[in-house]
Structure 1
Amino acid sequence: MPQIMEQIYRAKEPPPRVRDPSKPMQVICPGFPRCGTESLQVALIKLGYDYTYHGWDIVFEEPNYIQAWVRLAKKKWFGTPDGESNITAAEFDQVLGHSVAVTDAAASVFAGELISAYPDAKVILNGRKDLNAWHRSAVKNLVETSYENWAIYISTRLAGPAFWSWAVFEDYMWRGLFRDDNVARGIRCNGKWIYKEHYNMIRGLVPKNKLLEWTVEDGWEPLCKFLGKDVPDEPFPRVNDTSAFAAKAGLWYKRNSAAMLTNLSIFVSVAAVGVTAVVSYRRSGRVFEYTTHVVDILKGSLGR
């Protein structure tokens, strides 16, 4: 079904991004979502890493490269017919070429590939001091607010941008990351051990002189020391708590609502046409009149 829907909602894509050689990828933050990723994004931009890419950008940025992210996720989790699953810096640059740092889903899902593609980048392994607190937050936001929200799911069947949002995260990224076709079960049942496995993997991949393990509670000092930056004279930013996450979900719904309502009205109109046409055909038995009747009703329903 996802593959069929991808063909239905396939849209024209913007040209691939091209990285300016003077602005290489400098910082990769491969910690899991709900580990201060947006606060870290704001902090890095404040320190001069403009632009720092976040998982929300996959959904909200314009021009939007979400279909390209789906292809990258497919390549990672399903490979190619020749068995190749490696993702190169050139491929990442097509979506991240304007960014000098990356965090949240874009970084954690492709952690190993990004570290390999950009070996000169420093790595900030953002985490939570309390694994249980992370797990509760992941279940609350990624599962209950998003995956198990029937209003959101139905919306993703009615509008292209909404569909691609669901496809990239629920059909590919979270299914692969949490090792289960059922995202809710994967996060609830596998989340904690996958979190520990993921963080151990990063520790094994990155030399200690290029790795900082960090939490939001640590604030500016260790972050700035690691990056060689002056400590800003302001509190460390704290954004994207549970209420902020819900607000972002609401913004997503609002942005897609016009297309959803339009497509829903067309669906209802077509359904009505189908019922009326079948009744007309059964009464008359004449195929030509049946076809003409369908066309006339469609023209009236869709305002053409």
Structure 2
Amino acid sequence: MRKVFCLGFHKTGTTSMYYALGLLGYRVSGSLLENTSDFAVKLHQKTADVSRKYDAFQDNPWPLLYREMDALYPDARFILTTRDSAAWIKSAVKHFGERDTPIRRYIYGAGSPLGNEEIYCRTMQRHNSAVRDYFATRPDKLLELDLAGGEGWKKLCNFLGHDIPDIPFPHSNKAGDPSGHR
């Protein structure tokens, strides 16, 4: 089974991708990072080892490692989950509030999205552009997927070469949905 790396930032459907890829038979790794100040040191110690144990990867630090994972796994596929910037930052502020974490400081230069909305949006847009540019000459390796916009099984399964499951696409961590699914 080819490795699959999800490159979208949090609140773009990363948890939904965790469940969807699991339903397709992938062994999925979630976030590797502990919210400690030495996470950057631990990052490179863990990623190569963890990437051998699983088939699919989502959440931090994987969006930051697409170049390294592409070099390590030349036949891997990459999925950039995207979302409208205004809806994304609203969701991030609601979800994270003032909570400050080292990984968000590392990614955005600010640990909390609250009061840093412009910085967060610019950083996400730069990341998405960098991913698109990196894979521009190899479009068969990158799928852009907007789960909030209604994309799901059809586009994902066509890209990965799987049959479409006869169940609804899992939508998790949806604001206002206590069950986590819709």
For the superposition of Structure 1 and Structure 2, which TM-score range results when normalised by the shorter chain? 0.7 to 0.9
8 A contact 2:92–2:113 mirrored in 1: no
**Greater Rg, structure 1 or structure 2?**
1
Q: Whole-Å Cα distance in 2 between the matches of residues 48 and 122 of structure 1?
A: 15
8 A contact 1:219–1:236 mirrored in 2: yes
Higher relative contact order (CA 8 A, sep 6+): 2
Deviations 1:119-167 (A, max 9, x none): 3210111111x210001111111234x33xxxxxxxxxxxxxxxxxxxx
Offset at residue 198 of structure 1 (A): 0.2
Give, as a single letter, the amino acid of the residue that structure 1 aligns with 2:80: L
Q: Whole-Å Cα distance in 1 between the matches of residues 50 and 146 of structure 2?
A: 27
8 A contact 2:8–2:82 mirrored in 1: yes
Aligned to 2:5: 28
Q: Write 1 or 2 for the structure with the bigger share of helix.
A: 1
3-state DSSP of counterpart to 1:32:
coil
Unaligned runs of 5+ in 2: none
Alignment of 1:120-139 (within 5 A): 120-128=75-83, 130-139=84-93
Q: Whole-Å Cα distance in 2 between the matches of residues 209 and 196 of structure 1?
A: 22
Alignment of 1:89-238 (within 5 A): 91-128=46-83, 130-144=84-98, 146-147=99-100, 170-171=101-102, 173-180=103-110, 182-184=111-113, 187-206=116-135, 207-216=138-147, 217-238=150-171
3-state DSSP of counterpart to 1:45:
helix
Aligned residues: 175
Give, as a single letter, the amino acid of the residue that structure 2 aligns with 1:229: H
Offset at residue 199 of structure 1 (A): 0.4
Aligned to 2:19: 42
Unaligned runs of 5+ in 1: 1-22, 60-65, 77-86, 148-169, 248-304
Q: Whole-Å Cα distance in 2 between the matches of residues 46 and 70 of structure 1?
A: 34
Over 3 Å counting, the alpha-carbon distance change for 1:227 and 1:186 in structure 2 is farther
Deviations 1:200-234 (A, max 9, x none): 11112222111111121111001000000000011
3-state DSSP of counterpart to 1:197:
helix
Q: How high is the TM-score relative to the length of structure 1? A: 0.51
Aligned to 2:28: 52
Cα RMSD (Å) of the superposition? 2.8
